[in-house]
Structures are given as structure tokens and as C-alpha cells.
Structure 1
Amino acid sequence: MRFLRAIIFFLFLLPNAHSAEREMLYFVDYGIHTAILLPYELLAPQRPDLFERFEGATYIELSIGEDPFFRRSEHSKMDIVRALFWSTPSIIRIHPIKEEPLKHYTKVASVAQMELSHEQAKKLADFALQSIQPASVQDLWVESQVEKDRHFVKAIPPYHLFNNCNDWTSRMFATIGIKTRFTSKFSSADLFDDIILKSKTGEKINFTNEKYLKYLR
């Protein structure tokens, strides 16, 4: 009997399988806009209505923007003013990635490769998914006028100057304890650096690609 109790006690001391698991994610800066790459496996089981069509992708890039500005390739001055200063509908861009992310983004963006715990990665994924309208919403998918592999769905809450793409990214990272400066929400470059530096201080994220190792010294 004592032997059985000892085995049970030992099993309780074993770490949860997910607690030791690590996830590789990617934080993307487009110059005026930020995005996050999350593993397909973290997203598809929770919203198969959204992600099963992208089976074969290893990562899904998610970012938020103003509708219709975000899904158009050409913009008028009025489009820009409305996107910044009016409260307008928001949309999430879904971009499936099949190749190795650091190769995919070499010419179009700055990318930081991040190694997180499974729990941290899941919190980021949960935040992103909660920003998307539920499957019951009529016309959930919004027509894209840009590249074919960019897809758009209705999001919440409305988009405006103080709820922009960088603010969305900032609030996402706040779910794992990384709180950024208010002013960094108005500049993707500042937000990018702020998250990396705050991550170093709190030792919450391990940045693994050489371009950003300078922040870890």
C-alpha cells in the first residue's frame, strides 16, 4: 500500500506535458504595422471553421486593421483619415505560411523568432481568436482586394486611433505579462523594440534569430 501511495505521489510531482513544451512563434514588423505568427496547431482545433481550409500551413500570420482600408491595395487620403480618426469596423488578416518563416519574410519585413512556453503561446492564440467574430456572424469572411493568400474576417472591437494594429499586438503580449509603453502603440518599430527589451528584462521570451541577439546581451 505504501508503495502504491509513493507511486501516486511521484506522478503528481511530474510536470505537465505541456508545461515543458516549447513553441516557436514569430513577431513581424512591416514598418507601419505589426503581426504575429502562431502555429497552425494552436489555432485550428479552436476555430476549425476558420483554419481547416488552410491545412498544410505550419504557421498562420494574424494582424488587425481597418475595414476597408486593410483589404485594399490602393487608398485615398480620405481612406487614411477615416482609418486613423474614425471608429470603423475592424478585420483580422489571416495569412497562411507553409515555408520556413525567416525565409518567407526576408524581403518584406523585420522578424523576431520567439521561443515561448506552450502556456504563453496559447494565451497569445486565445487573445487573437477572441478578437474574431464568432462563426454565427453573417458574412464572416470579407472579400480581399489584395494578394490571394491574404484572407480577412470580421473582428472586434471597432478600429480607431487608440485601438490600432499596434495596440492590438500590445494587448496580446500583455496577456503573458509583457506591458509596453503607451507611446509605443503609435509606432510599429517602437513597439517591436519595446516588446523585445521588456521580454529581456522579465526573461519571458527567448529570441533566437541572430538579428535580435543584441537585445539579449
Structure 2
Amino acid sequence: MEKPRTIPSVFTPQWLPLGSLVLLLVTLALALTGCAAEKKWQYLPATRGEERSIYVIAHGWHAGIALPAEELGDELGFVREYLRPGRYYEFGWGEAEFYQADKITPAIFLKAVFWKNPSVMHVFSMPAEPAQQFPGADMVELKLSATGVKHLKDSLRTSFKLDAAHRPHPLKGGAHGEYRFFTAQGYYLITHTCNTWTAKVLASGGVPMDTVFTLRSGGVMRQAKDARKEYLKLRPDRAEQEGMQ
């Protein structure tokens, strides 16, 4: 098995020297972090056999969504043409220059924070299960119904900018096909970050998420974990099984 992948620089930008600006951004994010207290699960699986697993994974500032390869379907199967074969595929959305940069400069950071910018999709082909691929990472497994997964995949697909033949626009990629960027739909704003996008995609699949003020990966993960707890309450048979493990 391939050695677990080290989280790349696109997930861990080196902009810590910009202390005051980082503090300003974090303070703004904390002030605007919403909650999903009034949200409810949608498209719940009717039986345990209908449950489909997806994963929410935090990489520093950014949180992505991973699906098993067999769940790509017609909606997302096109990514296989641009990537090595994988067991899971992780999807993320973000500001085009910031997300693709090998090194984050002050200019790139300021542009991402204070301007309306184009966006890209990032897809990573994972040869191992998420827990093995990212050991120690903050992640949560969620159970969706087939209907929920279908809606989530439709949302992911519409995040790609496709041409008239329904093909994506590939951009920068890994040397071995481990990841690829694609031109995306929508603009990145300080009020609509990669994590706002992640929350919206999860909500499309029926997960109770705040989709307005979820600006930080911590907000995504907290709500995803709360959603998992609520799901277990709604499915006592699943809660009992988890308690026995």
C-alpha cells in the first residue's frame, strides 16, 4: 500500500507571518460562525442496507468531502480520466490562485481575503481509506441515503465548469495523477469560502448544516459531528451497533 500522503501545501498555506491579518480573519470568522441548530436531517436512509458512507476531512483551513470510488457514478465519473485509479476521491473548492499556489505570498493571501476571485475544484485520488490516507486528521464519516448521495453528487458536478460536451477544464495536476485542479463555477469571497461551499454540498445531501456563515473548517467539522450524533439518535439500531464496537 502507498505510504499515507502528507497534506500538501495547498491545504496548509504558509502565511503565518501575516499575524495581524490572520488575527483579523480569524476574529471575523469566529464572529460569523453559524450553527445548524434549526436544521434537520433530510433523505434519511429507510434501512441500514441503504446507508452510503461519505467522509468530511479537515486540512487546516480547508475541509473537503470524500466519496468511495463506486459512488462516483455518471455524475462524477469523468474525473477518472484525469487521475490515477483510487479507492476514494476527495473533492474541494477554493480560490483559484491561492488553492493552486505552491507557496502562499502576502499578495496572494490579501487577494483571496479582500477580492472577488475565480475558483477551482480540486480532486484527489486516494489509494487507501481516508483514515489510512490521512492518519490523525480530523474527519467524520456520515451515512447518507442513496437519494442523499445522488443530490450531493449533483451538487458536486455543478461546481465544475463544463463545456458544451459536458467535459471539465483541467488545470494543474500532480506528477503521478494523484490530484488535479479544474476550473470551477462560482466566485470565492470572504463571505463565501471553501468551507461555505463544503457546508452547502453537505446540506444538498440532507446533512443539517448552516450554509451562510460557516467560514472555517472547524465550523464544518463541528456541524458534521453534531449531525452524526443526531443521526445516531434517529437510528437507535445504528447507535447500539456503534456502542458495541
Which TM-score bucket, shorter chain as reference? Answer: 0.7 to 0.9
CA radius of gyration, larger in: 1
Partners of 1:118 and 1:165 in 2: how far apart? 25
Q: TM-score, normalised by structure 1?
A: 0.75
Which residue number in structure 1 is paired with residue 154 of structure 2? 126
The answer to whether structure 1 residue 152 and structure 2 residue 165 are counterparts is no
Question: Which segment drifts farther, 73-82 or 35-44?
Answer: 35-44
The within-5 A match list for 1:10-89 is 20-54=49-83, 56-89=85-118
| 1:58 shift after superposition | 1.8
The within-5 A match list for 1:57-206 is 57-107=86-136, 109-136=137-164, 140-144=169-173, 149-175=178-204, 176-180=206-210, 182-183=212-213, 185-201=214-230
Cα deviation, 1:108-134, whole Å, max 9, x if unaligned, reads x31112222222222222111111111
Structure 1 alignment gaps of length 5 or more: 1-15, 207-212
Give the AA of the match of 1:121.
V
Partners of 2:76 and 2:217 in 1: how far apart? 28
Which residue number in structure 2 is paired with residue 10 of structure 1? none
Partner SS, residue 75 of structure 2: coil
Label 1:45 to 1:139 Cα distance change in 2 as closer, same or farther (>3 A). closer
Answer whether contact 2:88 2:127 (CA < 8 A) is retained.
Answer: yes
| 1:72 shift after superposition | 1.4
Label 1:148 to 1:138 Cα distance change in 2 as closer, same or farther (>3 A). closer
Cα deviation, 1:68-95, whole Å, max 9, x if unaligned, reads 1101120111101111221111001000
Partners of 2:88 and 2:233 in 1: how far apart? 21
Answer whether contact 1:181 1:194 (CA < 8 A) is retained.
Answer: no
| 1:35 shift after superposition | 0.2
| 1:31 shift after superposition | 2.0
Question: Which segment drifts farther, 168-177 or 51-60?
Answer: 51-60
| 1:196 shift after superposition | 1.7
Partners of 1:199 and 1:39 in 2: how far apart? 18
Q: TM-score, normalised by structure 2?
A: 0.67
- Percent identity over the alignment is 21
| 1:139 shift after superposition | 7.7
Structure 2 alignment gaps of length 5 or more: 1-44, 236-241
Q: CA RMSD in A?
A: 3.2
Partner SS, residue 230 of structure 2: helix
| 1:39 shift after superposition | 2.1
Answer whether contact 1:71 1:144 (CA < 8 A) is retained.
Answer: no
Give the AA of the match of 1:127.
S
| 1:45 shift after superposition | 2.1
Answer whether contact 1:87 1:159 (CA < 8 A) is retained.
Answer: yes
Cα deviation, 1:7-43, whole Å, max 9, x if unaligned, reads xxxxxxxxx9999422121110112100000122332
Partners of 1:155 and 1:203 in 2: how far apart? 35
Higher relative contact order (CA 8 A, sep 6+): 2
